[in-house]
Amino acid sequence: MTIGLIREGKIPADNRVALTPTQCKWIKKRHPNVDVVVQHSPDRCFSDAEYKRAGIELVDDISHCDILLGIKEVPLKNLVPNKTYLFFSHTKKKQPHNQKLLQAILEKNITLIDYECLEHEDGQRIIGFGFFAGIVGAHNGMMAYGNRTGAYNLGRVHQHKTFRKLMHTYFGLQIPNVKIAVTGSGRVAQGISEIMNLMQIREVEKEEFLDREFSYPVYVHLKGSDLYCHKDDGSYNRMDFHHNPTTYKSLFPAYTRATDILMNGVYWDKNIPRLFEKEDVHHPDFRIQVIADVTDDTNGSVPINLGDQSIADPVYGVDKQTFEKTAPYVPGSIDVMAVGNLPNELPRDASRYFGEQLLKFVLPAVLRGNDPVIKHATIVKDGELTSEFSYLEDYAKGL
């Protein structure tokens, strides 16, 4: 088997990698029957020279490879027919901007295994950049609040090459008596909580958060049962919620009157209740000034997410009356941080973390062949939608 690490082609360029030079070297040493080659790229966070020093062959043509590993969506012109790809396709929710990508994958007889669909038996995702998305998103949210209020100043994450160096910038940081709501239970929320703790923002219980003001900065961590309840009896059952989300309602509106900063890390699709509705923003007690929408679904769990910003310009304002996009940090607006490739601000750390999960959980499943984990994550097999993803048929046909 030959594994090819492809050059990222999406614009703006993403410089994360699926495998670091050291991880590629480990594969070749541990699995002598597996070869790894790397397509030349000027943009990776690990240079061609670093792969070469690790003894990895660099190539321009990857058409001889059996499996092709990338990160972001592959441009249509770069898709190699009849190959097996692993990357984040962002098609499982019928995202309109990637409809043509799925169509091209079908037309070119490609097998697509989507990282987002790789799951453990309990439904938890196996692999992803969520932890570092949470790290960067939380930093940017706190940066935006500092810029808005003038209470403190935080620089940009990408000014620091490593997470370790970023942590040093928090020593002595004076955060005012702010109240922060962190939502979600996955890796994104874990990353957000890590930053809260590094900034010495104290976690409190939800009852305290709702009822009290504090003389120090605090955050509350809200998970599924804290955020949603059944419309009829007020109960929460995780499995039932995921199978029947339309029978549930959001409990978060109560927190909009007690929260200064919302750090959102919940998974969302069109049937899941939004955290709040646009009309809630008009309530005189709506307190939120800054939203870091780390999971970043346009008009999703955060209804005033008006779309992606770039790493270079991550924050915009939303007018509280008209809901139109404004410049950030202006009176009468809420500042929203919404960036789709947040981990790219710490690409080397994020890539190492991603590659470790890939080596531990995914590569063995690939090598075993016909593994249920891989089968479950295969959206397209040899140019045909798999049965699990047959609901994408209309989407694939352009309907």
State phi, psi for 119 to the nearest 5 degrees: -135, 150
Query: Which amino acid belongs to residue 239?
Result: M
In this model, does residue 13 exceed pLDDT 90?
no
**Mean pLDDT in residue range 68-72:** 97
Q: What angle do CA 369, 373, 293 make, to 5 degrees?
A: 140
How long a stretch of residues is the chain? 399
In this model, does residue 12 exceed pLDDT 90?
no
Q: What would you measure as the largest C-alpha separation in the chain, in angstroms?
A: 66
CA distance 136 to 129: 11
With beta carbons less than 8 A apart as the criterion, state whether 249 and 178 touch.
Answer: no
Q: What angle do CA 210, 337, 174 make, to 5 degrees?
A: 60
pLDDT band at residue 293 using 50, 70 and 90 as cut-offs: very high
> What confidence tens digit (pLDDT) does each residue in 356-392 have?
999 999 999 999 988 999 999 999 999 999 999 999 9
Q: What angle do CA 257, 260, 266 make, to 5 degrees?
A: 85
This model's pTM is above 0.85 = yes
With beta carbons less than 8 A apart as the criterion, state whether 98 and 69 touch.
Answer: no
pLDDT band at residue 399 using 50, 70 and 90 as cut-offs: confident
> What confidence tens digit (pLDDT) does each residue in 314-337 have?
999 999 999 999 999 999 999 999
Residues assigned a catalytic role: 72, 90
Is residue 246 marked as binding? yes
In this structure, the strands spanning 111-114 and 378-381 are antiparallel
State phi, psi for 339 to the nearest 5 degrees: -135, 130
- Detail the DSSP E strand segments found in 256-337: 261-264, 290-293, 315-319, 325-326, 333-337
CA distance 302 to 298: 8
> What confidence tens digit (pLDDT) does each residue in 24-40 have?
999 999 999 999 999 99
Where in the sequence of the chain do the CATH 3.40.50.720 domains occur? Answer: 2-110+347-396, 130-345
Is residue 267 marked as binding? yes
Is residue 329 marked as binding? no
Of 120, 274, 89, 90, the C-alpha closest to 187 is 120
Of 66, 43, 186, the C-alpha closest to 128 is 186
**Mean pLDDT in residue range 151-169:** 93
Fold of 2-110+347-396: Rossmann fold (3.40.50)
The CATH code of domain 130-345 reads 3.40.50.720
